[in-house]
Structure 1
């Protein structure tokens, strides 16, 4: 059975919290909805990109509800929300 390689998709980080020694549990919003994934080596370069409201191209791997981040790249400039927009963004 041939497997197709994972395809990167547009995602924004909603929340991120420490998980185990140097990983993080990250909640993303994607065109398909909300998704939770484990980001390994979150204290390195990848962790600095996992900030809220930064457009990312993320490659998710795994079959269950909890995915793994295979690749993550910034694809734009962070959106700085203010006022009601900030509260709405943090509410998600």
Structure 2
């Protein structure tokens, strides 16, 4: 099969046989693609140095099977400088993609959102806001983002006066009483919808995103979350 150039980021790489790597690329045109980077493990070539997370690259992938071969790689932009908590956040984003997004699912908007998230984490923006925005974008791509403006049980609009809960396979529903466990105020939901990230909205978004992602992630713990502990 003719190899094609694609814009990509490295999500993860691991040793493969004695001299090679298996690399998971997040590409703009084909989603997540795994490829063998032959003969680069013990080399000092540019190919090895380019196969690092958080740097946009161009890759040429070849092969008819699901497992591709890395034919060529070149730099497309400078590697972003990430450290401390923001680095852990970026690793979390990579792990989320690897765990949730099916291989081969093209998602150009999510790719662009991923780039925006990395730049936000490399800048001065609050990291939790960047994470919530990305989590919501990923949930929307997977068709799992709840409607934040309407009660899923009654169809009535969310109001500032009431409290709400997220219910799996249903969505946002009104809580039986204010302040109920795992409930959030309507004001926070409305702020989330408008991306007005005040403190209540940020707390509510973290709770809802974690609950909504749970069925997609399964029971296996996220390794990146251990870094925060």
TM above 0.5: yes
Give the structure with higher Rg (CA): 2
**TM-score band, normalised by the shorter chain?**
0.7 to 0.9
Answer yes or no: is the 8 Å Cα contact 1:41–1:47 preserved in 2.
no
What's the counterpart of residue 22 of structure 1?
19
Runs of at least 5 residues in structure 1 that lack an aligned partner in the other structure: none
Runs of at least 5 residues in structure 2 that lack an aligned partner in the other structure: 95-229
Bigger strand share: 1
1:37 & 1:26 partners in 2: Cα distance?
5
Match runs of 1:1-92 below 5 Å = 5-31=2-28, 32-42=30-40, 43-44=42-43, 45=45, 46-82=47-83, 85-91=86-92, 92=94
1:14 & 1:34 partners in 2: Cα distance?
9
Q: TM-score, normalised by structure 2?
A: 0.36
Answer yes or no: is the 8 Å Cα contact 2:58–2:73 preserved in 1.
yes
Structure with larger RCO (C-alpha < 8 A, sep 6+): 1
RMSD: 1.7
Bigger helix share: 2
Count of paired positions: 89
